[in-house]
A and B are shown apart, each in its own frame.
Chain A
């Protein structure tokens, strides 16, 4: 049994016989042509035939995969219509009296070399686009038929030097169980498409073409990036088991994607995602997020030379609200200062930035900046289910002042005739112990709480979370933290309000059962944790966990809590 290692490009296990996808040698000879006009016409015809072929592939991809994947072929079509490519080729045929094949080869090689020389993985991949397009036109010029993967009607794994995007699109998952390529990386077109098609793939295997014959039984382990040739019985059995386990998990998670989050005893909780930009929405929807529990707006302000305008902010907030289609969307107003700085906002250096002028404190100090954000949010509110959240609230006065500004801007907009939603909930982050302790008072005025665990832990334990030497004090399961969390949740429920949690603790395997028992209403985490959390919650009973709460809160240390929950 032989083993080849490569790069894991798409999850899953495939077991089937090998099918070698040979790349026909397209040799280009330099020839002199007398009738250059006829040659240019011949070239034009090959380009047109290629365009027609690409239109078909593009359409097929849009129908069978997605518009997003089809866009790759839109780019190929643009390359074929590119004046900077076509122009030099026809000039070359004309001026040097050479054949179209040679002119095409020379010109495209120049672009391929240029892209490959770039110090950027992404740009290097663009070289593959140019090669793919060139090969297609060249085949038409030479009258060579390129091997067509869509003709395969046997269960196989495909072995190839490389797969062009147009090859990959023709791979029918019904027959093609997986593929291996000798070149490429995780961001190659073929790797991306494999993940979309959900077929296992290993790329960058280097020696697959030179060592695998047609018909050899091959195991592709797309989880580990391993390839096994001619496996013995025991190995085959082992991988069949691994294949089933993977399929089971995938099926369970896929089933959960469009499901509500319900515990074993039938209690519903909400699983939301934390995002930083509108682009993160894709991940939220792909992972079945029921809400945005935290939209960090500071990314709008970062990496630029001046404040974002009201319009820019409106565009971003509207995009997120529209994308969520009326699902709850909690937007946190600007949380800057502390470890997050803006180059265009010169703030005096502070000895204790985490305890200094940041977040809501800064916004109340600079009301014009704050009002711009509030106006953008209010204007966007008609596009979805907006909830506004103020960060770093320490006193009720701060909340009242921030809310007053919000209501002022709302009244102003309405007098200008701008439509604003009337059902915007206004809540606060609970990340300062004073606020957690006073939660019962806050609960009378706010619409919701969202517990920011990273800061709540840092302020409760008086341990700088950037300081490695005190990192042992970052203890999410410390009973002190859990008791504060309980205080906040209970206070909100007493007033008929709700409590969420953003920060990684909400997606933590040990914390989830505890938080469920404490009555947390909304868990917000990184999108990739959602399905796992939903699966875990479906196996937990809320009533059971409530029964453990008193004991857990009575434990003495973080370690005791962790051990107790692990043994449940």
Chain B
């Protein structure tokens, strides 16, 4: 399992557009991917799950990927978060 912490820097937090880009980029991976915020953990392949967290700007989230292609999945997550300009860690 690989795990990483990200800080959401977008002033609007994790809103629909970046959340969609992130979730949309992950369906192709076999691994189980989760995001945890304030002790609540959701399936990162689920747009409803991600939006239900309501992650505000400046907060940190833990993202974990577990499975055969976990490393690749984490790379994609980092890239998408960067591209969308919502996190740069």
Contact = CB atoms under 8 A, between A and B. Distances in A.
The interface centre, meaning the residue of A75, A78, A126 with most chain B CB atoms within 10 A of its CB, is A78
7 smallest beta-carbon distances between A and B, as pairs: A84-B46, A78-B47, A75-B20, A312-B88, A82-B46, A123-B54, A84-B49
Interface in B36-89: 42-43, 45-49, 51-52, 54, 57-58, 82, 85, 88
Contacts of B20: 71, 74-75, 78
A52 interface: no
A315 B23 CA distance: 23
A72 B48 contact: no
B48 A85 contact: yes
Contacts of B24: 74, 78
Interface string A94-111: 000000000000000001
Interface stretch (A25-33, A112-120, A440-448, A453-461): A112-120
A433 interface: no
Chain A interface SS verdict (over half): helix
B88 A111 contact: no
Contacts of A115: 51-52
B50 to A, nearest CB: 10
Contacts of B9: 303-304
A81 interface: yes
Contacts of A305: 7
A118 B54 contact: yes
Given A79-B48, A82-B47, A279-B11, 13 more contacts: A71-B16, A71-B20, A79-B47, A82-B45, A82-B46, A82-B48, A115-B51, A122-B12, A122-B15, A126-B16, A311-B88, A315-B88, A319-B85
A485 to B, nearest CB: 33
A304 B9 CA distance: 8
A120 B15 CA distance: 12
Contact of A111 (B11, B12, B48): B48
Contacts of A129: 16
Interface residues of B, number: 28
Nearest to A277: B11
Contacts of A130: 48
A278 interface: yes
A417 interface: no
A189 to B, nearest CB: 10
Interface string A181-194: 00000000000000
A83 interface: yes
Contacts of B10: 279
Contacts of B28: none
Nearest to B7: A304
Interface string A49-79: 0000000000000000000000110110011
Contacts of A308: 88
Contacts of A82: 45-49
Contacts of A126: 16, 51
16 contacts: A71-B16, A74-B24, A78-B23, A81-B27, A82-B47, A83-B43, A84-B48, A85-B48, A114-B52, A126-B51, A130-B48, A279-B11, A279-B85, A303-B58, A304-B9, A305-B7
B16 A303 contact: no
Interface string B1-40: 0000001011110011101100110010000000000000
Nearest to B43: A84
B15 to A, nearest CB: 7
A83 B16 CA distance: 17
A122 B20 CA distance: 15
